Amino acid sequence: MSEILVIGHKNPDTDAICSAIGYAEFKRRTGLPEAIAARCGDTNDRIDFVLNTFGVAAPKFVADVSPKIADVMQRKILSVRPDSTAAEALRLMDEKNLRILPVMDGEQKCRGLLSLFKLSKFLFPAVNRHPGRQNSREVLSSLAGLAQTLDGQLIVGRDAEREEELILMIGAMGLESFAARLDKFPPEKSCVIVGDRWDIQNIAIREGVRVLIVTGGITVDPKTVEAAHKKNVSVITSPHDTATTASLCRAAVAVRHVLNEEFLCFRENAPLAAVREEATASGYLVFPVLDSEGRTVGILSKTDFLKTVTRKLILVDHNELSQAVPGADEVEIIEIIDHHRLGAMATQQPILFRNEPVGSTSTIVADCFFRHGVELPKPIAGLLLAGVVSDTLNLTSPTTTTRDTEILRKLEEISQVNAREFTEKLFASGSLLTLKPAPQAIATDCKEYAEAGVKFSVAQIEEIGFEQFWKRKDELLAALEGYRARQAYYFSTLLVTDVATQSSLLLVVGDEKFIRRIDHPRREPGIYELRDVVSRKKQLLPYLTHCLREKEKGLKG
């Protein structure tokens, strides 16, 4: 499986979604057709507003990029039905050089595995030396199944579809000896195999055996057929000689009687690393792979674990594994396009890493189109415009650069969208504090960071005014503390920004010694006023890391 996912960070914001779509379009237009825009979190009302405005579908949702069973399994399933004969299964196994076949029902569910080893033991059983046991000559089949297995014809058939137990008898002895032997078995279960011995045929019919199989492709005499009708004896002709016919009869059994009903199966989205040990330690050679509804969608063999998964990643709007899609450390990262601080990330080989001090990743992506002279479609220009105005608060954020301004003007021309008017509609399109439960609101745009040996989270909500915040402050603080505790963070913060007044309120929960280092005006316990602070990246994060260092100094002092 080969694909290149262009993907933003967990809990993606507008810039992450728009830059992923935009950069995937750029890569496809510059010779990388397998580039696909992806996301590892849900969209929100503002992102949906942007996507709907420009008529672009949301990126493909990918919860985890670690190699999955679906990446290496065999999707073309060679199988037989439960009512298929063993002969059909053997033919398929021989043609495809297989040792095991799945047995699938009409709903594409696996009913068991058919192994060549178990089939051979059934078809060629050890001779039972105990008196009265005839396992080597017992056949479980229908007459129709027998005729099909022999490539023969059912000349006279009574209850031909009924499955039953039959006892094979070879008519290769003198008439008196055969008659004496015939008396030892119940005629209603007897299956007599004979060539052109008319005397044996006639006595078998006279005694009312269940079925007479005439071998060698011989045409049965009409009088014999008539006599069989009268005695309710079924007649099958076989094109094979008597020895071959006898050996083939046991292969007429339906495979549901000889399959292994115990087997190990896996879900298609299960990580390879999670099932590798269980699979390799098991005694099974192949494993049915199921979808969410229990249908078999593939077959996994032990050798499939040796396959290489060729999925690759291009990260946009972040460069830290702690913020990346789960499994990013298990696949190859070939590019990073970002505008944040550099985090700790090691790659197996040199990669294209474009990191610029601009206000939005969408600015960098748009510049790629302009710099390389690649046509920028109008809807993509609209998306990149939305990414720029979202991250720079329409060029009012302290992270804004002259490059953002230049790029935004070009995007306005191509998309024919007024940035100021669009910004007003964007921030009015969805208030997290109005529409979402507190636990979801505080985690929608949340990022994890590591500094000074501790991990912490910084979330941000952009609103028009603080009215909704003050109504819900208590439940927001409680939700933030619950989130911090579950993730075992040293502290967690939420920056609520009023885009109209360009100021913010900061909620902080966690280590009390750290919180005492915050010297902004405190409005209430755990709530601080941050005037003129609107940027998580350029203003809040440096301040928090400064407080961490000061706290460390205080401890050492």
Instruction: Tell me, yes or no, whether 316 lies in a domain.
Output: yes
For residue 58, what are its two tokens? 């949301």
pLDDT in tens, 109-160: 999 898 888 888 777 766 554 444 446 688 899 999 999 999 999 999 989 9
Q: Which of 428, 457, 477 is the last residue of a domain?
A: 428
Instruction: Tell me, yes or no, whether 356 lies in a domain.
Output: yes
CATH number at residue 411: 3.90.1640.10
pLDDT in tens, 319-368: 988 899 999 988 899 999 999 888 767 777 888 999 999 999 999 999 99
Query: How many angstroms separate the CA atoms of 38 and 59, rounded?
Result: 5
Query: How many angstroms separate the CA atoms of 469 and 507, rounded?
Result: 11
Q: What is the per-residue pLDDT for 557? A: 42
When pLDDT is averaged across residues 209-237 and rounded to a whole number, the result is 94
421 and 445 housed in the same domain? no
Q: Which of 373, 405, 428 is the last residue of a domain?
A: 428
Instruction: Tell me, yes or no, whether 488 lies in a domain.
Output: yes
344 and 441 housed in the same domain? no
pLDDT in tens, 19-55: 999 999 999 999 999 999 999 999 988 999 999 999 9
445 and 337 housed in the same domain? no
424 and 436 housed in the same domain? no
For residue 78, what are its two tokens? 């060679």
Instruction: Tell me, yes or no, whether 55 lies in a domain.
Output: yes
Q: Which of 428, 463, 489 is the last residue of a domain?
A: 428
Instruction: Tell me, yes or no, whether 179 lies in a domain.
Output: no
When pLDDT is averaged across residues 91-106 and rounded to a whole number, the result is 90
What is the distance in angstroms between the CA of the first residue and the CA of the last residue of the chain?
A: 56
Query: How many angstroms separate the CA atoms of 442 and 444, rounded?
Result: 6
The sign of the torsion formed by the CA atoms of 308, 311, 312, 313 equals negative
Q: Strand order of the sheet with strand 312-316?
A: 60-61, 35-39, 4-7, 312-316, 332-338, 352-355
Q: Is 301 helix (H, G, I), strand (E, B) or coil?
A: strand
pLDDT in tens, 520-552: 999 999 999 999 999 998 899 999 999 998 887
551 and 436 housed in the same domain? yes
Query: How many angstroms separate the CA atoms of 229 and 249, rounded?
Result: 23
For residue 315, what are its two tokens? 């990260």
Q: What is the per-residue pLDDT for 116? A: 86
Instruction: Tell me, yes or no, whether 105 lies in a domain.
Output: no
pLDDT of 257 over the 90 cut: no
Instruction: Tell me, yes or no, whether 169 lies in a domain.
Output: no
353 and 414 housed in the same domain? yes
442 and 424 housed in the same domain? no
CATH number at residue 523: 3.10.310.20
Query: How many angstroms separate the CA atoms of 119 and 101, rounded?
Result: 11
In terms of average pLDDT, the best of 167-181, 285-299, 480-494 is 480-494
Percent of the chain with pLDDT over 90: 64
pLDDT in tens, 64-98: 998 899 989 999 999 999 998 999 999 999 999 98
Q: How many domains does the chain have?
A: 2
Helix (H) / strand (E) element for 417: namely: none
Report pTM. 0.64
489 and 376 housed in the same domain? no
344 and 397 housed in the same domain? yes
Instruction: Tell me, yes or no, whether 513 lies in a domain.
Output: yes
440 and 402 housed in the same domain? no
Q: What is the per-residue pLDDT for 349? A: 81
Residue-number span of the structural domain to which 373 is assigned: 4-67+310-428
CA dihedral 391, 393, 398, 401 (to 10 degrees): 70
396 and 497 housed in the same domain? no
pLDDT of 441 over the 80 cut: yes
